[in-house]
């Protein structure tokens, strides 16, 4: 895809990431939509990342890189890291989960329940 003058990088990245893909293997098919959504979110948040996507390889090549070597399973975090690093070498992704107890924020926030998924990659 050539870079069009006058179009912002987010719009170019969005065009590159959108569209129906054919010939995906079973891993690529499973990760396609979640990776697409994640990459679009990252592009919307960061212009430099959007530029890297707009000027980088195709989304189908990205999916191939993300699914390479997957055996029985692969964590979401690992797939997102691979996708980000396909477009932006040296970049990293961190993920944090928190529990919302559904009490409208009245619980003691100093005792909130959190989990960093980064530690799960080491097992």
Residue 64, classified by CB atoms within 10 Å of its CB into exposed (0-12), middle (13-18) or buried (19+), is middle
Asked if 107 and 88 count as a contact pair (C-beta separation under 8 A), the reply is no
pLDDT digits 0-9 by tens, 20-57: 899 999 999 999 999 999 999 999 999 999 999 999 99
The whole-angstrom separation of Cα 45 and Cα 70 is 28
The pTM score is 0.77
Judged against a pLDDT cut of 50, whether residue 123 lies above it is answered with no
pLDDT digits 0-9 by tens, 50-81: 999 999 999 999 999 999 999 888 999 999 99
Q: What is the pLDDT of residue 33?
A: 97
Read off the tokens for 108. Answer: 């003691």
How far is the CA of 115 from the CAs of 40, 45, 70, 91, in angstroms?
25, 23, 24, 21
Q: What is the pLDDT of residue 11?
A: 96
3-state DSSP call for residue 96?
strand
């Amino acid at each position: 895809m050539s870079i069009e003058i006058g179009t912002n990088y987010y719009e170019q990245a969005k065009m590159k990431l959108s569209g129906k893909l054919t010939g995906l293997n079973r891993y690529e098919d499973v990760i396609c939509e979640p990776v697409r959504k994640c990459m679009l979110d990252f592009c919307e948040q960061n212009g430099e990342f959007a530029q890297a996507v707009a000027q980088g390889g195709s989304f189908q090549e990205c999916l191939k890189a993300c699914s390479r070597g997957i055996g029985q399973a692969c964590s979401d975090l690992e797939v997102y890291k691979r996708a980000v690093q396909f477009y932006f070498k040296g970049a990293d992704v961190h993920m944090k989960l928190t529990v919302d107890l559904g009490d409208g924020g009245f619980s003691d926030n100093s005792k909130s329940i959190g989990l960093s998924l980064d530690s799960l990659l080491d097992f």
